[in-house]
Structure 1
Amino acid sequence: MILRILLLCIVLLVIELYAFQALRTLIKVKWVLVSYQIISLLLFIFIIYSFMQFDRSVGQTKQTMFTMGLVLLVYVPKMVLALVLLGEDIFRVGAGSINYFIENNDKATFFASRRKFVSQVGLGLAAVPFLSLIYGVTVGKYNYKVIKQRIFFPDLPDSFDGFTITQISDVHSGSFDNPEKINYAIDLVNEQNSDMILFTGDIVNTDAKEMHPWIETFNRIKKHEYGKYSVLGNHDYGEYVTWPSEAAKEKNFQDIKNLYEQIGFKLMLNEHTFIEKGTDKIALVGVENWGQNFKKAGDITKASEQLNKEDFKILMSHDPSHWDYEIKNHDKNFHLTLSGHTHGMQFGIEIPGYFKWSLAQYVYTQWAGLYENLGRYVYVNRGFGFHAYPGRVGIMPEITVIELKKGKAMA
């Protein structure tokens, strides 16, 4: 722990050094520079102190989220600035070496002074993440988007042509701080008037008590004609804190499972049920969390016992890596998998229909939206809530509406 804090201090101090050099190049007023140094030092001390106070028996709190937001707000822009100045330093060293060693110009200054223009460019670039992160914590985290997705299946039972499913995922109720915005989101869910609603896990960050202030709010999600179903996410197991005993951890886990029932959702634990409409039926399968780098409690074999390859199946599995590693080529042919988990890392760039980027794509092959493999699909919801960083930039909180259609997708 001490070594990590020390390494963090070194990295942050190097970033601070570069940022101050840029400011000093542009500003010559002494009191402004001194004030900047004092404020930067106080923020640095507060951040390091907050990290050292982290209590693993408690886990994430409003304070830790505030600290993480502050770290990103203060140091991501300065990091951008440092990279620009580092590039200038590399150029300065290269130019100085050419002058001194190749052109034998020993009268030239080996290390030229910083150029004002480069510092101005660096500050301009740093302003982009700074303003974006402010937007993310003030507006973005509750900027809910309803995303509608139509998916075609040649073998969809006739009665389910046009069947609609609302999906929510990754609520992380322990992070909420604005009842008005959450009620607005629940209104959006209800306005979709879907046939069925599915919740793909992570109702809390860690502790069942986080959801208690929000039970009444989520009970406002109206009954759907074909049911309300859910599965567990990795955070629902309480594995990211140190519990006083295994009994306490198990009690919290049972309390979390009960939360889903308390808000009217049928929790599916490695099992399936049939949804019947008219003379047809489809299988809804729900597994516990299965993640390549997280808890592997999901048992697709148990959940799909007595199902045939020909049965039309919708699978709820919290982590999309499950689809990538086990589901997409499974012998029983799971037509559609609904996942969440990634949050799109709550930071990225999206131009719907044209461009999509996030650091999440370097961790997960399927990280946001619809993916297909040999006629089998996974849809990754970007998440309803937020975690760790108390905001969202570019990757907005999502309510998904999926319409099932019979036939082949149009090119």
Structure 2
Amino acid sequence: MRIRRQIGIALLALIALAITMTIVHTIVISPKSYRIHHVEVTNKAIPQQFQNFKIAYLSDIHLRSQKDITRLEEIVKDLNEQNYEMVLFGGDLYEGKVFEDKKVTQILNSIHSSYGKFAVLGEEDNSNSSQVVQILTEAGFETLNNEARTIYYNEAKIRLIGYNTEASTALEKSDLYTISFSHYPDQFAFISDTSQYHLAGHSGGGFIYLPLLGATTKLNHAKTYNHGSYTKNNATLYVSNGLSIMADHSYKFLAKNEIVILTLNKS
């Protein structure tokens, strides 16, 4: 009886410890930590010349304080230590008013890229769109507004499309392999007809993500697609968890903040 009781007490202690560690990680560690997440993109339509072409994708930075700006400096430093050819920003640079615009411009301008830096705006950017676009432009980003760009590399080319938050129809389909990105994941419902690969953010990965149950928080425009990879019409969507929490959603569990780095491979 005494042994059983000791075993029971030990199990309860382990369970309590596990619960405590989970709570601490969800509330204290996970909101600020982030990962470099490598994703392989394989498709027969990718030109052979683009083999191992890498694209870094950042989204949902949500600057609200000076501490966030210091953290952004660390994120950009880590990003610049990675190997990639192009950078995409998926929107929501600030959450609320724009501040320290010159400092933020300087930080974003320090991001290295050999084949361009492109951006779309998120819903948080729209209320200060002129200021945010100016920051991005001065930092070397081209903000795409339902526009396509041809990317040339090793005498081959692919197409890149950036959609704004108001987009409800896709651009015409092209013979070129097409990568697109937008802030809202649910736009994939119509974008999947014309893009082979699509990137989006906004959802925070559901903030609290539970196995089997999925995202506990489904924001507007991320009701259908909110965490990880999806396929539709032979197209693939990857929904980034973003790089920050939000004022109204300050915890994260199994939805780690991330920089996504795509590597293109011809199948």
Q: TM-score range by the shorter chain?
A: 0.7 to 0.9
Alpha-carbon distance in structure 1 between the residues aligned to 2:65 and 2:202:
15
Counterpart residue number, 2:266: 406
Q: Which residue of 1 aligns with 2:3?
A: none
2:75 to 171, 179, 185: 185
1:357 matched to 2:226? The reply is no
Equivalent pair of 1:208/1:259 in contact (CA under 8 Å): no
SS class of match (2:31): helix
Counterpart of 1:377 in 2: which secondary structure?
Answer: strand
Of 361, 365, 381 in structure 1, the residue corresponding to residue 240 of structure 2 is 381
Cα distance in 1 between the residues matched to 2:98 and 2:91: 13
Q: How does 1:203-242 map to 2 (within 5 A)?
A: 203-209=93-99, 211=101, 213-222=103-112, 224-238=113-127
Is the CA contact (8 Å cut-off) linking 1:207 and 1:256 kept in structure 2?
no
Which whole-Å CA distance do the structure 2 matches of 1:210 and 1:136 have between them? 29
- Corresponding position of 1:319: 184
Query: Which blocks of at least 5 consecutive residues in structure 1 are unaligned?
Result: 1-120, 239-251, 290-296
1:372 aligns with 2:231: yes
Local SS of the residue matching 1:273: strand
CA-to-aligned-CA distance 1:100-155 (integer Å, 9 cap, x gap): xxxxxxxxxxxxxxxxxxxxx9xx77993x65444334322221111111011111
**Structure-2 separation of matches of 1:163 and 1:300:** 28
What is the CA–CA distance in structure 2 between the aligned matches of 1:366 and 1:216, rounded to whole Å? 33
Please state if 1:390 is matched with 2:250. yes
User: Residue type of the partner of 1:142?
Assistant: K
Could you tell me which of 269, 279, 283 is aligned with 2:145? 269
Q: CA deviation at 1:185?
A: 1.5
Which has the higher Rg, Structure 1 or Structure 2?
1
| Cα separation, 1, equivalents of 2:37 and 2:64 | 24
Moved more, 309-318 or 377-386: 309-318
The yes-or-no answer on 1:162 pairing with 2:52 is yes
Closer/same/farther in 2, CA of residues 220 and 309 from structure 1, 3 Å limit: closer
Distance 1:366 1:386 in 2: 18
Q: How many residues align?
A: 251
Tell me the CA shift for residue 217 of structure 1. Answer: 2.5
Greater fraction helix: 1
Q: What's the C-alpha RMSD, in Å, of the aligned pairs?
A: 2.7
Structure 2 partner of 1:344: 205
Q: Any residues of structure 2 matched to 1:11-410 within 5 Å, and which?
A: 128=19, 132-174=22-64, 177=67, 179-209=69-99, 211=101, 213-222=103-112, 224-238=113-127, 252-289=128-165, 297-298=166-167, 300-301=169-170, 304=171, 308-324=173-189, 326-328=190-192, 330=193, 333-349=194-210, 357-360=214-217, 364-388=223-247, 389-407=249-267
Query: Letter of the aligned partner of 1:160 in structure 2?
Result: F
Amino acid corresponding to residue 31 of structure 2 in structure 1: K
SS state at 2:131 partner? helix
Q: Distance in 1 between matches of 2:223 and 2:16?
A: 28
> Kindly, what percent of the aligned residue pairs are identical?
24
Maintained 8 Å contact 2:90/2:119: yes
Q: For residue 202 of structure 1, report the CA deviation from its aligned partner.
A: 0.8
Q: Alignment partner of 2:49: what SS?
A: helix
Q: Return the TM-score normalized by structure 1.
A: 0.56
Q: Which residue of 2 aligns with 1:39?
A: none
Q: Distance in 2 between matches of 1:220 and 1:360?
A: 34
Please list the CA deviations of residues 175-227 of structure 1 after superposition, one character each: whole Å capped at 9, or x if unmatched.
562555433221221122201110011111132226555333333212x1111
Larger % of strand: which?
Answer: 2
TM-score, normalised with respect to structure 2: 0.83
Task: Give 3-state SS (helix, strand or coil) of 2:67's partner.
Answer: coil
Residue 141 of structure 1: SS of its match in structure 2?
coil
Any stretches of 5+ residues in structure 2 without a counterpart? 1-11
| Corresponding residue for residue 77 of structure 1 | none
One-letter amino acid of the counterpart of residue 279, structure 1: E
Contact (CA 8 Å) 2:203, 2:226: kept in 1 or not?
Answer: yes
Instruction: Answer 1 or 2: higher relative contact order, Cα 8 Å, separation at least 6.
Output: 2
Distance (Å, rounded) in 1 between the aligned partners of 2:149 and 2:48 = 19
